[in-house]
A and B are shown apart, each in its own frame.
Chain A
C-alpha cells in the first residue's frame, strides 16, 4: 500500500465527512476506526441551527447550507426528514427568549417564525394547550447518522481506504496501531473525540454522558422536532446532571426522546433516576406520552472542550496534526462545515468562515490569561 496523503482517526460522522471531503480534494486518505460505538451511533441525529454565540451560529448556519446540497443525494435509509424544529416556551417569559433567538437567527439570514400559543397548537396539534408559544425554525431536520457516516465513506471512492484498528500512539508523521501496524502521512487528522486526549497527552476533552429512549412504532402524531427553549441552560450546565426536553418523530413512527447530560461519567449503564427525570420532563410537554411503550434506552458520550466549543484546525504546536474534536452534541449538524473548514486549512486555502474561534491555540491563551 502506498503511503496515504492523510490519515483520519475516527470514522464517526465528523471523521467520515472529513475523509470524504479530503478524498474529493484529491488526497489519498486512510480512515482508521477502532470499531467501537461512538457518539454518532448513540446520538439523536439532528440538524439544528444553534445560536449560543455568533461563532457557533456561523458554523451551524454554514454547515446546514452544506447539508442542503448533500441531503437530496442520501439514500432512503439515511432517514433524512425536513421536519424543522419547534422551540417550545412553557412560560410567557420564555417567549422573550424566543424573540431574541429569532433576531439572532435573522442576523444570519435563518428563517424562523414566533408562534403564539394558538399558532403553536395549530402547527403541532398533539402539543395540546398548556404551552405559552414557541419558535418555528423550518430549516432544521433529522437524519440517521450511522448510515450517513457509512455513505460518506462509500462516496469517497477509491481514494479512501477504511481500516479497522486502534491508534495507540501518535508520532507524527506516523501513527502506531495496537496490532503493531504503522501508518504514515503528512496530515494526521484526529476525529476520535476524547480518544484524542491520550494520543495528544492533553486533557482537552471531557465527556458528557447522555441518555436516550425510543418508543415502539405508532401512527404519526407529531411532525416537528421539539426542543424546549430552556435546552441551552441544560446544555451548558458545567456540573451535575441535567435534563432538557428534546423529541424527534422518526420516519419509522417511533418517538426518540432526550435529553440528559452528566459530566465525567464513563459508566455506560443507564442511570434510572436521570432517565426517569428525562421522561417526566417529556411528559410535562406531552402528557399523552406516558401511555406509549418504550422499546429501548441507551447511553452515549459527547465530548466537550473546556469552553464547550469544538477544536477545529491545526494542533497549536505539532505540525502535521489536525483536530476535529469536541463537537459535543453538534457533531452531526456541523460535520460538513468541519470537513470543509479542515480541508481548506490543510490545503492552505482561504476558508468560507472565520477559523479563528475554533483554533485549539485558544486553550493555551486561556491558560496564560485566566
Chain B
C-alpha cells in the first residue's frame, strides 16, 4: 500500500505519495512556479536534477532546491510573498 504524507505549501495543507519531491508537489498547487524571476516572471522547476537552481524555495525556513528535496511530513514550503499574492489574491 502506498504511504501518503502531509505538508503545507504557502500554508495550505497538501497530501502526497511518500517519495514525492517538493518540485513535484508544487505542481499540485494552483500554480507550479517555485519563484519569480528577476523581472517577475514565474519560474517552475526546469532541470529536475539540481543544476539550474530555478526551483529554489524556502523549505522549513531555509532556501533549498525543490527538485532535490523529498517531501517530509509536516514540512513547511513557502514561496515568495509576491508569487503567493499573484496566484491566490
Contacts and interface: CB of A to CB of B under 8 A. Distances in A.
In-complex A–B contact (CB below 8 Å): yes
B53 to A, nearest CB: 9
A219 B80 CA distance: 9
Interface residues of B, number: 7
A216 B38 contact: no
A293 B63 CA distance: 7
Interface string A89-131: 0000000000000000000000000000000000000000000
B33 to A, nearest CB: 16
A217 B61 contact: no
A103 B80 CA distance: 44
A127 B49 CA distance: 37
A69 interface: no
A77 interface: no
A219 B81 CA distance: 10
Contacts of B63: 216, 292-293
B56 A216 contact: yes
Interface string A335-365: 0000000000000000000000000000000
Nearest to A295: B53
Interface in B9-66: 38, 56, 61-63
A291 B56 CA distance: 14
A219 B84 CA distance: 14
Contacts of A216: 56, 63
Interface string A281-300: 00000000001110000000
B62 A217 contact: no
Given A291-B61, A291-B62, A217 B38 contact: yes
Interface in A292-313: 292-293
Interface residues of A, number: 7
Contacts of B81: 219
Contacts of B62: 291
Contacts of A291: 61-62
Among B38, B63, B81, the one with the most A-chain Cβ atoms within 10 Å of its Cβ is B63
Interface string A221-259: 000000000000000000000000000000010000000
A282 to B, nearest CB: 18
A340 B36 CA distance: 44
A283 to B, nearest CB: 16
A292 B56 CA distance: 12
Contacts of B61: 291
Interface in B52-89: 56, 61-63, 80-81
Interface of B: 38, 56, 61-63, 80-81
Given A216-B56, A293-B63, 4 more contacts: A216-B63, A219-B80, A252-B38, A291-B62
11 contacts: A216-B56, A216-B63, A217-B38, A219-B80, A219-B81, A252-B38, A291-B61, A291-B62, A292-B63, A293-B56, A293-B63
Interface of A: 216-217, 219, 252, 291-293
